[in-house]
Amino acid sequence: MRTKTMKLSAILCAAAVGLGGLGIPAATHAAAVQPAAYTSLNTAKASDSHDKLTLTGVAQFDGNYIKINLSREGTLYSGNLAGITLNDKGEPYLAEGTVVGIDAKITKPEGIQLKSPRWISDGDANKAVIVLQTGWLDEKQRANLASSELSVNLKLNGVQDPYTLKFSLKQGGLVRNIQAPAPKADKQFKIQTNVVAVGEASVRIGLTVTGVPEQAYAIGYDIYDNLGNKVEFIARESTKTSKDTTTEDLLFEKVRPDAQYLTIRPYEAVFEKGNSGAYKLDAKGEVVKNYNKQLEIKIPLK
């Protein structure tokens, strides 16, 4: 059965696939997600079929986050599985068969509702990547994820009943915790590194930023290794914890095995006009960034 098409704005907010997907804080401070490169880990596969459509997911957990590679099979829908679709005139619309909502829960060994699921297209109309961050869980809950049952309900636009994928998760590889470096500060902010966790497929960095939260939300974070390679961004979760404190849970792709250290480079993106609106682009079409040298943080890996 079919339901009415949802408003385009709803899916854009829910999926958080705007400028935040570039690692740049969106104007709404929505959490961001970028598809990560595939890494060979323990994987679990699940699928569900109805309404002439099959959704299949392949899940992996590296100790830092859960990643699900999602694919859609069926001839009923031709629009993008994730995000917006462009019509013949180049105008965006929300196609039927597009993901509009995800509910994810660890059902065993204990019931844990996973908050803020994110999803984005990986470049194929019938594929998407789901990211479930787990950094906010306590130590016991994270330990239980190493061998657990995950249930994911997916709502597609135009399809009344959700699709349910159930996975048996097994953690792939070990997480190596790196000693946190000393805090950095300037006249506006103090950044304390709380967590540096290196997994098989990702690097998780937890920060506490002291300063005006509205201004702290505007800070972006790039990471480079000592060889000059940029470590690609996966996702970000920002939380205001007090009047002048914000926590950042940042996920980046795995680092090269020969990297000796990482450098966190905080920056503020430059707008075309004032402090809001469209970002200013350089000649290559990339967002112009003002890096803050005083707040740079060096993290030894060896």
Identify the pLDDT of residue 273. 87
Q: Answer whether residue 33 shows pLDDT above 70.
A: no
Residue 122 sits in the same domain as residue 138: yes
Query: According to the model, what pLDDT value does residue 15 have?
Result: 42
Residue finishing a domain among 111, 145, 170: 170
Task: Please indicate, yes or no, if residue 98 is contained in any of the structural domains.
Answer: yes
CATH number for the domain that contains residue 276: 2.60.40.1640
- CATH no. for residue 158? 2.60.40
What is the model's pLDDT at position 41? 62
pLDDT value at residue 136: 86
Tokens 């059965």: give the residue.
1
38 within domain boundaries: yes
Domain identity same for 28 and 163: yes
Q: Is the pLDDT of residue 8 over 70?
A: no
Question: Is residue 116 a part of any domain in this protein?
Answer: yes
Are 38 and 154 contained in the same domain?
yes
Sheet with strand 163-170: strands edge to edge? 112-114, 99-108, 147-156, 163-170
Mean of the pLDDT values across residues 84-103?
94
Examine the domain organization and report whether 104 and 65 are in the same domain.
yes
Same domain, 166 and 217: no
Residue 3 covered by a domain: no
Regarding whether 273 and 248 lie in a shared domain, the answer is yes
Average pLDDT of span 262-272: 94
Grouping H, G, I as helix, E, B as strand and the rest as coil, residue 87 is coil
Number of domains observed in the structure of the chain: 2
Give the integer Cα–Cα distance in Å for 20 and 208: 19
Looking at the structure, tell me whether residues 148 and 15 fall in a common domain.
yes
Give the model confidence (pLDDT) of 51-63 as tens digits. 999 999 999 999 9
| CA–CA–CA angle 120, 84, 81 (5° rounding) | 55
- Per-state percent for the chain, helix, strand, coil, to nearest 5: 10, 50, 45
Please list the alpha-helical segments (H only) found in the chain. Answer: 8-15, 139-144, 213-216
Q: Which of 52-56, 126-130, 153-157, 269-273 has the lowest mean pLDDT?
A: 269-273
Among 114, 137, 170, the domain-final residue is: 170
pLDDT digits (tens, 9 = 90+) for 201-228: 999 999 999 998 778 888 999 999 999 9
Same domain, 85 and 189: no
How much is the pTM? 0.84
Single out the residue in 135, 170, 205 at which a domain terminates.
170
pLDDT, position 223 = 96
pLDDT in tens, 241-255: 888 999 999 999 999
* pLDDT tens per residue across span 118-134: 999 888 999 999 999 99
pLDDT value for 145: 85
* pLDDT of 7: 42
Range of the domain at 134: 8-170
Q: What pLDDT is stored for residue 5 in this prediction?
A: 39
- Same domain as 112, residue 41: yes
Interval 104-109 mean pLDDT? 91
Element (H or E) spanning 237, and its range? strand 233-242
Looking at the domain assignment, is residue 2 inside a domain? no
Q: Is the pLDDT of residue 22 over 50?
A: no
The verdict on 142 and 284 lying in the same domain is no
Whether residues 166 and 181 share a domain: the answer is: no
Ranges 36-50, 97-111, 117-131: which has the least confidence: 36-50
For 192-213, letters b (16+ CB in 10 Å) and e give bbeebbbbbbbbbbbbbbbbeb
Rounded CA gap, 294 and 177, in Å? Answer: 25
Asked whether residue 87 is domain-assigned, the answer is: yes
The verdict on residue 107 lying in a domain is: yes
166 and 21 housed in the same domain: yes
